[in-house]
């Protein structure tokens, strides 16, 4: 057990899309805590200087209360920001990072397809490299929590969901891309289980719904927009 992290409460936060109010409010009421934001932080839509100024202020505010935010890459995030950089209490987590928090070992890999990509402008508010591209490698550390932006079949959502019909009509590749994405997430979860990682939980965002599922003995959870939950096991 690492006493430096085991005593710090751990939280998870859904998509915020550039609205950091939920994270600020969390930091106002929690002191000495850690929160993992599961993607769609909303970085990359402004010019670089403006984004950096906003991130510095957020990082400084949470650090003042001895809090830390760890944000992974979502669909609505510019990938090259997420290289492990830190702004005081805010870390933009690189894909493949293993975090040790609250006596848990947490594997992070972000990215997913934007279902509305045909309505967006390339390299302005949509990036081709937004995708989930797990490289098939697993960490050596025994992983107890998996963090991704999208999820696997356990969400119960499929590319045939009625709310996607309009986007399918505009994007002939969307169905196969979403099907592949679900399968790739499933492969990651199954690989962890087959390698006997002590997986307890899997958290993601992306769908803007609070959904529950299970893979092996691990509890799975999607987080709604701005939803924050505390880790309890």
> For position 163, what pLDDT does the model report?
80
Q: Over range 133-140, report the average pLDDT.
A: 98
> For position 14, what pLDDT does the model report?
98
The pTM score is 0.95
| pLDDT tens-digit readout, 79-99 | 999 999 999 999 999 999 999
Q: What is the CATH number of domain 3-230?
A: 3.60.21.10
Quote the CA–CA distance of 109 and 114 in Å, as a whole number. 16
Domain ranges of the chain: 3-230
> For position 1, what pLDDT does the model report?
40
Alpha-carbon torsion angle 130, 81, 109, 169, nearest 10 = -20
> For position 3, what pLDDT does the model report?
44
Quote the CA–CA distance of 106 and 98 in Å, as a whole number. 5
| pLDDT tens-digit readout, 20-60 | 989 999 999 999 999 999 999 999 999 999 999 999 999 99
């Amino acid at each position: 057990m690492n006493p430096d992290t085991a005593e710090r409460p751990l939280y998870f936060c859904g998509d915020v899309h550039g609205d950091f109010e939920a994270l600020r409010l969390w930091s106002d009421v929690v002191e000495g805590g850690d929160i993992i934001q599961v993607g769609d932080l909303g970085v990359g839509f402004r010019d670089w200087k403006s984004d950096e100024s906003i991130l510095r202020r957020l990082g400084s505010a949470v650090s003042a209360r001895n809090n830390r935010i760890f944000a992974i890459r979502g669909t609505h995030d510019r990938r090259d920001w997420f290289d492990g950089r830190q702004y005081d209490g805010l870390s933009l987590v690189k894909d493949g990072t293993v975090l040790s928090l609250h006596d848990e070992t947490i594997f992070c890999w972000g990215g997913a397809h934007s279902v509305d990509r045909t309505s967006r402008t390339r390299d302005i508010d949509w990036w081709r490299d937004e995708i989930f591209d797990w490289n098939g490698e697993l960490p050596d550390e025994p992983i107890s929590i998996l963090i991704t932006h999208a999820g696997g079949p356990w969400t119960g959502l499929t590319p045939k969901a009625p709310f996607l019909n309009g986007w399918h009509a505009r994007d002939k590749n969307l169905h196969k891309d979403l099907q592949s994405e679900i399968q790739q997430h499933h492969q990651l979860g199954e690989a962890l289980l087959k390698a006997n990682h002590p997986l307890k939980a899997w958290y993601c965002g992306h769908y803007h719904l609070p959904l529950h599922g299970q893979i092996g003995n691990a509890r799975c959870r999607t987080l709604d927009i701005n939803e924050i939950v505390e880790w309890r096991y």
